[in-house]
Structure 1
Amino acid sequence: MRHHHISRRAVTTSALAATAGALLAGGTGVPAAARDRRPADGITLRLPAPTGPYRTGVTTLYLVDRSRRDPLEPGIPVREVMASVFYPARTVRGCRRAPQMTAGAAADFGADGRRSHPELPASGVNWAATLTHSYAGAPADAARRRPVLLYSPGGGDARTMGTALAEELASHGRVVVTIDHPGDGCEVEFPVAMTGREIIRPTVLRYDPRTDPGLFRTLIDTRIADIRFVLDQLEALAAGRNPDAAGRPLPEHLGRALDLRRAGAYGHSAGGTAVTQAMYDDRRIGAAADLEGYLDRAPETPGGKGEPYPVARYGTDRPLLLLGSDGFQDREGLERSWPAVLSHSRGRACRRQLDRAAHWVFTDYAALVPQLQAAGLVTAADRAKMVGTAVPAVHHHLLSFFARHLPAR
C-alpha cells in the first residue's frame, strides 16, 4: 500500500466524483451593500439549539494508538485521534459554552475552507465566533449509565461540522463521541506538538480518493481502525481510567455516564461507509446509521464495479439505517451497494430518503449555509448544491432510530 503526501484539504470522499463540476462552478454572489454592513471580522453564524430535556457538557480527548503508525504520514510513529464527547450535564453552573471550533482551527478553516467547499465565501464570516450549546468541562449527569454513539464525519471534513446533531442526541440522554481522522479530516488541532506534523494538521486530500483504490482503501480501513480504537479507549474511561494521552483532567463522573453495552455509531459519506463496516467487524456496535456513504470500494478502473465491503456482501444482523437525499448527484453510486445490504440483512436494515435535500444536509452546513445565503454570502444555487432547499428532519430520523434500537432507559 503506497502512502500519499498530498498537501491541503479537499473533498468529501463519497461525493466529489459526482459533484466536482458543480462545485467548481459555485460563486458567492455577495452584494456590495451587504459587504458594507458587515462587521470587520465577519458575521457570526449560529447553531440550532438542541430540543432535549438535558443541558449538555463537552470535553475533548487526545487519544494515541501506539500499536499503529500513521498510515497517511509515515513520519508520524503513532496514530493519533482527536474526539469530542458531548453528554448530559448534571449542572452547567460556572461553565462557559464551548466554541464550535478552536481559534486555531477556525483560522485555518476560514483561510482555506473553500478548497473543500468552493461554495463557501472567501471572507465575511467569523468562524471562531460560533458557539455550541454545550458547556466545556461541565460535570456529567451520572445518575444512570447512558447509551454511547460514535460519529465519523465525511471525507475531508472535521468532526466540528457534526456538532448540532451530536448536541441534539446528547440532549436526549446519550453520550455522543465525534471523531476526527487526522490526515483525512481537515483542520485537526492537537493539544501537544509531535515530530512529523503541525499542531493543526491539514487533510492530505486534493482529489477524489475513489479514483485511487489504494488510497480509498487506506482511508476507510484507517477510519474503521480509529473507530474501534476509540471504543477501546471509552472502555478504559468507563473503567475509571483517563485515556487522554496528554493527561488532561476529565469532567467529573464522565466515565460513570457511559453504558458501552448500548453502543452505536453513525457517519456521513465516508464516515457512513466506515461505521457500517465497523459494525460488521465489531460486535460492540449494536446499531449504525449510514448517512449517504457508499458500501463498495472504489473500482479498479473508471466505470467499473467496485468490490462490495463485507457488510454489503453478507448483510448485517444488527439494526442499520441507510439515510440518503434526493439531491445527491451520484445516487446511482449508492445503488451499487445499498440494495445488496438490504437484501442480505433479513429485515435488519432499512432505507429512507430526504426530499429537497443535498449531500451536506447531514452536517452543520444545513444550519449554517442558509444563514450565509441570507447574508448575501452564498447564492441560492450554491445553497441548493450543498444542502438543498428544504429543512429536512435529519435529527428526527436519527433520534427515532436510536431511541428504538438503543433506548436511553
Structure 2
Amino acid sequence: MSVRNGAGGGDGRPQGPGRRTVAVSAALGAALLFTGCGTARARPAGRHPDRGPAFVPRLPAPTGPHPLGVTTLYLVDASRHDPWDHRLTRRELMITVRYPARTGHGHPVAPQMTPGAAKVFAGLDPHFHPGLPLSGVDWAATRTHAYTGAPAQPVRRPVLLHTPGGGDPRTLGTGLAEELASHGWVVVSIDHPGDASEVEFPVTTPQRPSPIRTTVLRGDPRTDPDLFRTMIDTRLADTRFVLAQLAELAAGRNPDAAGRPLPDGLGRALDLRRVGIYGHSAGGTTAAEALHDDRCLRAAVNLEGYLDHPSRRPGRAGPLFPVACDGVDRPLLLVGTDGFPGRQQLDRSWSALLARSHGHALRRQIRHTTHAVFTDYAAFAPQLQTAGLMTARDRNALVGALDPARSIPAVRGLVRTFFARHLPPR
C-alpha cells in the first residue's frame, strides 16, 4: 500500500437533461464516465461460456466483528418529477441498507445483484468500463456477506449514506459498504435511476412498465454542462429525500412504497443525530456538496469527485461548486489516485476547497491506482485478469497495478479510520 498526503435542476419540474449527450435508450455505446479514457471499447472474453462454467467474481470479506443484515427499500417522492424522463411524474429510488445484525441464522445470504439487474449489467457495463469481458462471467452468482432481512442489533448506530459514481449502480460499492457496516455503522447505498446503469424495482407502474430502468447517459457528462448540473442537482435532491425517509423509518413507520416488511429493529438502529456521507466520482461531488448544504451531515468523504462544473468555453475553467468556493466547517476527506487522467483538473477545485476550509478538509492519495479502485472492480478486475477474461493493460487502466491485497485495505482503511474519528460507533 502506498498512501501519501497531498497538499440548478431539482426543483420538481421536468427538465431537459442535456441536448447533446443524452439518449432515452440504454447507453450501449457509452464511454467510461469521469475518467477521460476516450472512446469506449470492449474486448471479448478470453474464453467462451460454452467451454466451461462461467466465472463468478468474489467480494472480499469484511473485517469487522459484526454479522451483517441487509434489506432494500423502494422509495417514491411524489413531490418531484423525474428529471431524466418527462413521462415519470414521481421520482422513484432504490436503496440498500446494511447494518450490524443480531444473527444471520435462518436468513439467506444476499446476492450482490438481482438476477434481472445482473443480466442487464453484464451486457451494459463493458461499455461503461472498457476492457471488461462481454461474456464468460456470471454476475448474478456473486454473493455478499450479509443476510437478507436479518434482525438488527438493538443499538443506535451512526448512519453513512453512500452515493455511487456516475453511471454506476449502488451494487458496485458493496465491498466498502459491507466493511463499514461490519465495524458498526448503518450504511445506506442510494441508486440514482436514469443516471445509474441499471436499477431494478420491485414493482412496475403504468408509466414504467418494466421493472428495470437503464441509464440515459451517453458519453461523458463533463462534456455537457447542463447535463452535469442536472445530474448533481438530482443526486443532491435524492439524498435529501432519502434522509427524510430514514427519519420516517427511525420514527417507527415503513417508508417502502410497496409495503414490504422491514427487518426487526431496523428503525431503532438508526441514530440520525450522527449522519455522514461518502461517494465515488459524481458521488464524491454529491457527498462534498451535501456536506456544505445540509447541516445534519456531520462528515463526508469524496472519493475522486470533481468540485467544479465543466466550462461552457473550451480552455477555460468552469465555475466552482459552493463547497469549493466557501470551504467546509466540518470534516471532509478527499481521496484521489495518481492514475486518474483528470487529476490535474481535479486539483484546481480541491485546492480551492482546502485553502478555504481552515483545516477541516484533508487530502490523501493512493499511489499505483486509478479511478475505479474505489469500487468493487478493485477486487473483480484482478480476478478477471487471472481467469484470462481481462488483459493486464485493461485491468491497470481500470483500477491500477497495485495488488488488491494492498489497494482494498488502503481504501477501506482511509474511509473507516476517518469515520471512526468523526462518527464513531458506540
Q: Secondary structure at the match of 1:59?
A: strand
Does the CA-based 8 Å contact 1:211-1:302 persist in structure 2? no
User: How far has the Cα of 1:206 moved from its partner?
Assistant: 1.0
Asked whether 1:188 is paired with 2:205, we answer no
- Relative to structure 1, the CA distance from residue 184 to residue 385 in structure 2 (aligned partners, 3 Å threshold; closer, same or farther) is same
User: How far has the Cα of 1:14 moved from its partner?
Assistant: 2.6
Which residue does 2:43 correspond to in 1? 27
Of residues 79, 87, 96, the one that matches 1:84 is 96
Q: Deviations over 1:285-341 (max 9, x none)?
A: 110000000000111122221100000000000100000001101111101200011
Asked whether 1:200 is paired with 2:212, we answer yes
Of residues 394, 406, 415, the one that matches 1:398 is 415
Q: Secondary structure at the match of 1:266?
A: strand
- Identify unmatched segments of 5+ residues in structure 2: 1-14
User: How far has the Cα of 1:136 moved from its partner?
Assistant: 0.3
Which residue does 2:375 correspond to in 1? 363
Which residue does 1:279 correspond to in 2? 291
User: How far has the Cα of 1:28 moved from its partner?
Assistant: 5.0
Which residue does 1:155 correspond to in 2? 166
- Relative to structure 1, the CA distance from residue 110 to residue 29 in structure 2 (aligned partners, 3 Å threshold; closer, same or farther) is closer
Which residue does 2:244 correspond to in 1? 232
Does the CA-based 8 Å contact 2:161-2:187 persist in structure 1? yes
Structure 1: distance between partners of 2:203 and 2:50: 40
2:157 maps to a residue whose letter is R
User: How far has the Cα of 1:389 moved from its partner?
Assistant: 1.0
Does the CA-based 8 Å contact 2:32-2:127 persist in structure 1? no
Q: Deviations over 1:219-258 (max 9, x none)?
A: 0000001011101100110111101111100000000000
Q: Secondary structure at the match of 2:413?
A: helix
More displaced, 152-161 or 105-114? Answer: 105-114
- Relative to structure 1, the CA distance from residue 293 to residue 328 in structure 2 (aligned partners, 3 Å threshold; closer, same or farther) is same
- Relative to structure 1, the CA distance from residue 316 to residue 131 in structure 2 (aligned partners, 3 Å threshold; closer, same or farther) is same
Q: Secondary structure at the match of 2:96?
A: strand
Of residues 383, 398, 402, the one that matches 1:386 is 398
1:166-181 equivalence runs, <5 A: 166-181=177-192
- The TM-score normalised by the length of structure 1 is 0.95
Structure 2: distance between partners of 1:222 and 1:281: 14
- Structure 1 runs (4+) deviating above 3 angstroms are 3-6, 9-13, 26-29, 34-37
User: How far has the Cα of 1:38 moved from its partner?
Assistant: 2.8
Structure 2: distance between partners of 1:111 and 1:27: 12
- Relative to structure 1, the CA distance from residue 222 to residue 12 in structure 2 (aligned partners, 3 Å threshold; closer, same or farther) is farther
Structure 1: distance between partners of 2:316 and 2:196: 27
Which residue does 2:3 correspond to in 1? none
Q: Secondary structure at the match of 2:380?
A: helix
Which residue does 2:337 correspond to in 1? 325
User: Sequence identity, in percent?
Assistant: 59
User: How far has the Cα of 1:11 moved from its partner?
Assistant: 4.5
- The TM-score normalised by the length of structure 2 is 0.91
Does the CA-based 8 Å contact 2:164-2:280 persist in structure 1? yes
Which residue does 1:14 correspond to in 2? 34
Structure 2: distance between partners of 1:303 and 1:239: 51
User: How far has the Cα of 1:199 moved from its partner?
Assistant: 1.1
1:38 maps to a residue whose letter is G
2:26 maps to a residue whose letter is R
2:320 maps to a residue whose letter is P
- Relative to structure 1, the CA distance from residue 269 to residue 188 in structure 2 (aligned partners, 3 Å threshold; closer, same or farther) is same
Structure 1: distance between partners of 2:45 and 2:193: 33
Count of residues in Structure 1 that have an aligned counterpart in Structure 2: 400
Q: Deviations over 1:65-123 (max 9, x none)?
A: 11100001010000111000000001111011100000000011112221211211010
Q: Secondary structure at the match of 1:382?
A: helix
1:401 maps to a residue whose letter is F
Does the CA-based 8 Å contact 2:159-2:271 persist in structure 1? yes
Which residue does 2:254 correspond to in 1? 242
- Relative to structure 1, the CA distance from residue 225 to residue 11 in structure 2 (aligned partners, 3 Å threshold; closer, same or farther) is farther
Q: Secondary structure at the match of 2:239?
A: helix
Q: Deviations over 1:247-298 (max 9, x none)?
A: 1000000000001111000000000001110111111111000000000011
Which residue does 2:366 correspond to in 1? 354
1:180 maps to a residue whose letter is D
User: How far has the Cα of 1:218 moved from its partner?
Assistant: 0.3
Which residue does 1:309 correspond to in 2? 321
1:139 maps to a residue whose letter is P
Which residue does 1:46 correspond to in 2? 58
Structure 2: distance between partners of 1:298 and 1:258: 37
Asked whether 1:372 is paired with 2:372, we answer no
Structure 2: distance between partners of 1:264 and 1:85: 14
1:58-137 equivalence runs, <5 A: 58-137=70-149
1:158 maps to a residue whose letter is P
Structure 2: distance between partners of 1:38 and 1:394: 34
